[in-house]
Amino acid sequence: MPGNKVIPRDVRFWRRVNKTETCWLWTGAVNRTGYGQFSDSPNPTWVPAHIESWEMANGPRPEGDWVIRHKCDVRHCVNPDHLEIGTRADNQNDMKVRNRSCYGEVHPNAKLTEESVRQIRADFASGVRKASLAREYGVSFMTITRAVRGECWARVT
């Protein structure tokens, strides 16, 4: 259509950013986990906003299973200085080191507590069968197995 001006992708992107003294906060669409989403109109392909920002500053990510990590832990931050490339393992380690992972009884789906895990291990050591423990605590046989083996609830002694 004559007279329609195509707005460059980067201009459309930066229009949705509120630059504060530290983080540059994404003001556009956000997914259910809190990460900004950028759409490339007219054929919308949703791209995580922090990845778009990192790639505008650094070029395309290398081939492979690379992720763009937040150094600031603010999911809707798109400040390229707060972003770095790494592996999924790096990202998981960041969560652990920064105490941002949700595990144990604070996890919203947890059915066991540290105290119940200690009791399960003691009962199992004294001969109570895993199937009985699973019924008693309302969890699966595999949940009991993993708790007994220390594959989950490893921090509980």
**Is the pLDDT reported for residue 2 higher than 70?**
no
- Taking the C-alpha atoms of residue 90 and residue 111, their distance in angstroms, rounded to an integer, is 29
Cβ atoms of 38 and 47 closer than 8 Å: yes
Written as six digits, the tokens of 112 are 């066991």
Q: In the chain, what are the domain boundaries?
A: 9-97, 104-149
Average pLDDT over every residue of 85-111: 82
**Is the pLDDT reported for residue 139 higher than 80?**
yes
Top-level class of domain 9-97: alpha beta
Res 42: pLDDT: 65
Average pLDDT over every residue of 138-142: 93
Which stretches within the chain are classed as H helix? 9-14, 49-58, 88-97, 114-125, 130-137, 141-149
Which stretches within 98-152 are classed as H helix? 114-125, 130-137, 141-149
Q: For residue range 25-74, list pLDDT tens digits in order.
A: 999 999 888 899 998 766 678 899 999 999 999 999 899 989 999 999 89
